[in-house]
Amino acid sequence: MLLSPPRTILISGASRGIGRAIAERLLADGYRLSLGMRNLAALAGTALDPERAGVDEQGRPRVLLHTYNAEDPTSAETWVAASVSQFGAIDSLVHSAGVFSRVPLLFDNGQEQEIQQLWDVNVMGPWWLTRAAWPQLAAHGSGRIVVLVSMSGKRSKGRLAGYTASKFALMGLCQTMRNEGWEQGIRVTAICPSWVNTEMAAAVNAMPKEAMSQPGDIAALTAQLLELPNSCVPFELAVSCNLEV
């Protein structure tokens, strides 16, 4: 059952993949959304276009699109301020923006920049955005943070050194968010999927795409998390489409 009034949720990485599926599901469920992305035109004419998404009970647009660059700390502050200006308050945050890289342990000269981008987007991006949104989340009394981490934040398989290191760091950050916000009613969930049928997994041939987890399934889990009371919110959801050993 939705809270009354419904939650007002910031979602990063909402222009495609898992983030977009989450945004579409939460809009259909009646929430107000502020969507941060690099390319605002990506949602023009879709269900997430503010012109099509309708208005809330106060007559305000139910969807705000705002530019957001996870590598720019000021971008997080600007986005949060614009969201509060439109909706009056925000109470939930979904971190879905992220980058993937195959940079190995024994990386080549010149790949340092790729490693730095992994850190900036996958770790510092959520850190800066959470910091900017924290006063709003704490003021609500039942704030929520959902972070798309990855199974790569729980174990290392193969040679994805850079990506795995960034996701392990993100999982540690999630644990500290949980510790920091517990007494203020902020609940944090790290969702850890293995392969999800998105552009990121397009080059994966180890399993058919229909056997992977689907973006809509991750969106359904996220929607359910937002409906749970503070006393029943899991910290970690491991979502595996293959046997993890």
Separation between Cα atoms, residue 152 and residue 159, nearest integer Å: 11
Q: Quote the tokens at residue 182.
A: 């517990």
Which tokens is 104 given? 């190995």
Q: Would you put residue 220 in left (φ > 0), alpha (ψ -120 to 50) or beta?
A: alpha
SS3 239: strand
- Which residues face 190 on adjacent strands? 147, 236
Q: Which of 31, 87, 163, 168 is catalytic?
A: 163
Where would I find the H helices in the chain?
Answer: 17-28, 50-53, 73-87, 112-119, 125-140, 161-181, 215-227
68 flagged as catalytic: no
Tally of residues, the chain: 245
> 95: closest CA among 72, 117, 70?
70
Distances (CA, A) of 26 to 113, 162, 225: 35, 32, 11
- If one counts every other C-beta atom within 10 angstroms of the C-beta of residue 207, the result is 14
List residues with catalytic annotation. Answer: 163
